[in-house]
């Protein structure tokens, strides 16, 4: 009998029995942090020149993941991937249950976690690790993303077991998709559904399982290579549009910093660590104070009025504006929001939600700035 890949089950099991005679080489999960420390440090988040909209959007989603993630569209080579991947080194380390593939909090394991037995009680065996920032490859299948039947255990042990996918690894962290506009639409839809609900439900091949999958979804891409469908665009909380820096001075500084990092990554990271620590403490304080920030009626009215003036479909626009305004107030150390918070994040929250008018001769960002000037800053 052939398994469809040119390899018979007889030969497959004979190879497995031969391999069983050799001593297996195990790489336990606990060894991952030590192995990671041997790699060169990521480019520091605070060392990225310019791209303030992108950095602000990421910080707001760190403070409040319910904002709904960030879509970053812009030219090639503008630090989109660099900024996202540098988040792991910037954020405070988190505690997780040892050997749990879903990164459960040891103080309050998720009741949906198959590994922690339903959660509810604190777990003593824990590890302190970096916040997970998981890359989703462009050619990943739905099984690889959501998880599927563990074929190896099914063949060797004859049992049905679940093999967690990338969504499990991203729990309590970030899931990053480079070239999201080239990803298949059904996968993008799946990711957005899970990101919104915080739960991944897998029902296939005789398996029905759900597990926690609370993460911030970050997608990036080049608009020259195609756009996402409007239905998918609207479900990203914030949209940062990145352009190539044209001023000479910051471009020179980009080259200097990159050459310094390439020459000695450890020394460069150490040089920027005071700035990293300063921002790290600011984000930690904002997370702690976020629930105490008062969303004022004036702020809500400004958000709703702006969406009406720009003819934004649905109500995700004002909801995102209000969530981002609260996160911005927390980031700035304030206890209440103001309409100026809405003005500052209006482009991030509404740029991808405007109706496309082929007869319109001005850009969407200009339309938003005009509406903000008329309704809020006037």
Catalytic positions are 316
Q: What residues does 163 pair with on adjacent strands?
A: 148
**SS (HEC) of 39-70:** CCCCCCHHHCCCCHHHHHHHHHHHHCHHHCCE
Q: How many angstroms separate the CA atoms of 106 and 46, rounded?
A: 30
Taking alpha carbons only, the member of 96, 144, 83, 132 closest to residue 279 is 83
Q: How many angstroms separate the CA atoms of 231 and 164, rounded?
A: 28
Q: How many angstroms separate the CA atoms of 314 and 300, rounded?
A: 16
Q: How many other β-carbons are positioned within 10 Å of the β-carbon of residue 256?
A: 11
CA 193 remoteness from chain centre: 14
Q: How many angstroms separate the CA atoms of 238 and 185, rounded?
A: 19
Structure tokens at 252: 């020179």
Q: Are 134 and 175 in contact (CB under 8 A)?
A: yes
For residue 258, give every residue at least 6 positions away whose Cβ sits within 8 Å of its Cβ, in sequence order, or none: none
Taking alpha carbons only, the member of 136, 232, 238 closest to residue 188 is 232
Q: How many angstroms separate the CA atoms of 277 and 92, rounded?
A: 9
> How far from 326 is each of 61, 237, 297, CA to CA, in Å?
11, 14, 12
DSSP labels, 241-281: EE-----HHHHHHHHHHHHHHHH-HHHHHHHHHHHHHHHHH
């Amino acid at each position: 009998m052939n398994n469809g890949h040119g390899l018979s089950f007889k030969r497959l099991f004979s190879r497995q029995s031969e391999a069983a005679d050799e001593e297996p080489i195990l790489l336990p999960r606990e060894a991952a942090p030590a192995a990671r420390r041997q790699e060169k440090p990521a480019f520091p988040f605070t060392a990225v020149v310019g791209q303030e909209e992108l950095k602000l959007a990421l910080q707001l989603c760190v403070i409040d993941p319910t904002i709904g993630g960030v879509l970053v569209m812009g030219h090639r080579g503008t630090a989109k991937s660099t900024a996202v991947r540098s988040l792991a080194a910037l954020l405070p380390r988190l505690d997780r249950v040892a050997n749990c593939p879903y990164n459960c909090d040891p103080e309050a394991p998720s009741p949906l976690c198959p590994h922690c037995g339903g959660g509810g009680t604190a777990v003593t065996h824990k590890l302190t690790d970096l916040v997970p920032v998981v890359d989703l490859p462009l050619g990943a299948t739905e099984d690889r993303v959501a998880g599927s039947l563990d074929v190896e255990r099914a063949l060797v042990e004859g049992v049905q077991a679940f093999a967690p996918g990338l969504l499990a690894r991203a729990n309590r962290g970030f899931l990053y998709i480079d070239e999201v506009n080239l990803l298949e639409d059904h996968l993008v839809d799946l990711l957005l559904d899970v990101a919104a609900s915080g739960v991944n439900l897998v029902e296939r091949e005789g398996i029905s399982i759900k597990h926690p999958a609370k993460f911030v979804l970050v997608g990036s891409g080049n608009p020259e290579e195609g756009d996402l469908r409007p239905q998918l665009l609207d479900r990203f909380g914030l949209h940062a549009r990145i352009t190539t820096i044209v001023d000479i001075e910051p471009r020179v500084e980009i080259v200097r910093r990159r050459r310094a990092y390439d020459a000695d990554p450890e020394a460069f990271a150490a040089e920027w660590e005071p700035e990293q620590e300063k921002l790290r403490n600011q984000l930690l304080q904002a997370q702690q104070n976020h629930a105490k920030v008062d969303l004022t009626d004036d702020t809500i009215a400004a958000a709703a009025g702006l969406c009406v003036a720009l003819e934004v479909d649905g109500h995700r626009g004002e909801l995102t504006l209000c969530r981002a305004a609260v996160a911005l107030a927390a980031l700035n150390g304030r206890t209440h929001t103001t309409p100026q918070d809405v003005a500052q994040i209006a482009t991030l929250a509404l740029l991808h939600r405007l109706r496309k008018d082929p007869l319109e001769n001005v850009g969407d960002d200009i339309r938003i700035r005009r509406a903000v000037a008329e309704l809020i800053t006037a």
